[in-house]
Amino acid sequence: MMKKIPGYELVVIDDKNGKVCYLHNNFRYHFASSSSQKTIYRCAYYQSIYQCKVKLWKTRDGKVTVVGGEHHHDDAKNAREVAAMKIEMKKQACSTHDFPSRIIHEVERNHPIARRCISILASNSYIRRKRDEIGRPKEPATLEELANTLETNEEMKDVVKSNYRGIVHPEGENAGCALLFVHDDMLEEFNTAKIIEIDETMKAVPTTPEGTQIWIISV
Ligand SMILES: [Zn+2]
């Protein structure tokens, strides 16, 4: 059922569930909130894959204003590209350990239309949820937490394999710890080596969790 509201640019329609929504320039809006100044309607595609941010403001005097940019969900090609972009982000979430911002930056370059339809916040959440789903651990806050993750998380155990040998702490009251990594072949080499060299770097250490030094032992 459609009914033009006298004095308004909106057409009120009943959807199949008997709820009232509004049609404006062929886009459908649902009631969102109301204050003493205005009533706000959200695009019907807000809760869809597009998360359309377009809103209608209807002030007390009946004036209707469209805010929040443009609708980008009105053709099938867009829908296909949005779906493809989501798949690509999820794929990279599983196959890489990159930061979400890097994945989003990479994927957006291949999907110029879809990037306007998916917010950064939504993209971040797709990547995080996918990683949660496959059991990817959260970023550890401390080296102790990292050590625990390397020992208990199945995916991380697979990444470091038997190269991770455990965590060591200094004796006595001294703070700090070190995570030990070594390959079996290197242990063999150490056993027979005439000279063992030690090198250190303070540059290539993680900031989260905070590291101070990587100590490299080589033959
Ligand atoms: Zn919309």
Q: How confident is residue 149, by pLDDT bands cut at 50, 70 and 90?
A: very high
Closest-CA residue to 85 (of 111, 62, 64, 109):
111
Angle CA(140)–CA(118)–CA(67) in degrees, nearest 5?
125
Distance from Cα 51 to the centre of ligand 1, integer Å? 8
Alpha carbons within 13 angstroms on the beta-carbon side of residue 177 total 15
Distance from Cα 37 to the centre of ligand 1, integer Å? 23
Per-state percent for the chain, helix, strand, coil, to nearest 5 = 35, 25, 40
Distance from Cα 87 to the centre of ligand 1, integer Å? 22
Closest-CA residue to 123 (of 50, 69, 54, 72):
50
Q: What's the pLDDT tens digit per position in 68-115?
A: 988 877 767 777 888 899 999 999 999 998 999 999 999 999 988 788
Distance from Cα 53 to the centre of ligand 1, integer Å? 7
Angle CA(208)–CA(210)–CA(214) in degrees, nearest 5?
110
Distance from Cα 88 to the centre of ligand 1, integer Å? 23
> Residue 169 in 3-state DSSP?
coil
pTM for the model? 0.51
pLDDT at 19: 59
Distance from Cα 161 to the centre of ligand 1, integer Å? 48
Distance from Cα 107 to the centre of ligand 1, integer Å? 23
Distance from Cα 40 to the centre of ligand 1, integer Å? 14
**Least confident segment among 13-22, 33-42, 45-54, 196-205:** 13-22
Distance from Cα 15 to the centre of ligand 1, integer Å? 17
